[in-house]
Amino acid sequence: MTSIWHEADTASLANPLDLAEEILSERDWVYDRPEQQELYADFEGAWCNYRIMLSWHEAFGALTFSCGMDTRIPAKTLSKLYPLLAKINQKLWLGHFDLSESQNCVEFRYSMLVKGSTVSLEQVEDLLDIAVTECERFYPAFQSLIWGEKSAEEVLNMVLIDTVGEA
């Protein structure tokens, strides 16, 4: 297979982490950029605290993203967690939830390939917004499964219920 990607094209790609820094500063989120290719941010959501990690892989033209939830998972509940992860991931149209074994938490992940183009401010902002929305949406399901006596099916039905009106 012949590739039309050239080394010279790599230099033309702007680092999308610069854009992420702009957005995080605007939102007053605490962040750290220990290296040019990595960025970490912490923020408080409605249910818990979150930790975001963005990584720019210039050689591949890929932006990888994860958003970890501040929840610890007891070893005894791991076998119940995997079916819930699979069921939730079937409902997502972008990204997926996974278990971070190193952090012992559930995290939302997504990778964006942008070879041959640049990443816009709007794309990075959408990525952050989608991740936060999905984490907030499914956090109660993870907590109910981990600390409650409910099955994956029960907690998924609980968070996917359609509500009408306001209380």
Q: Can you tell me the distance from the alpha carbon of 69 to that of 34, in angstroms, rounded to the nearest whole number?
A: 21
Percent of the chain with pLDDT over 70: 87
Give Cα separations from 56 to 20, 24, 75, 107, 149 (angstroms). 11, 16, 32, 18, 40
Closest CA to 155 of 139, 166, 167, 136: 139
Q: Which CATH code of 3.30.1460.70, 1.20.1280.290, 3.40.50.620, 3.30.460.10 fits the domain covering 7-80+92-136?
A: 3.30.1460.70
pTM beyond 0.95: no
CA angle at 138 for the pair 135 and 142, rounded to the nearest 5°: 110
Reported as a single tens digit per residue, the pLDDT across 54-109 is 999 888 888 999 999 888 888 887 788 888 888 889 888 899 999 887 767 889 99
Does residue 36 register a pLDDT over 70?
Answer: yes
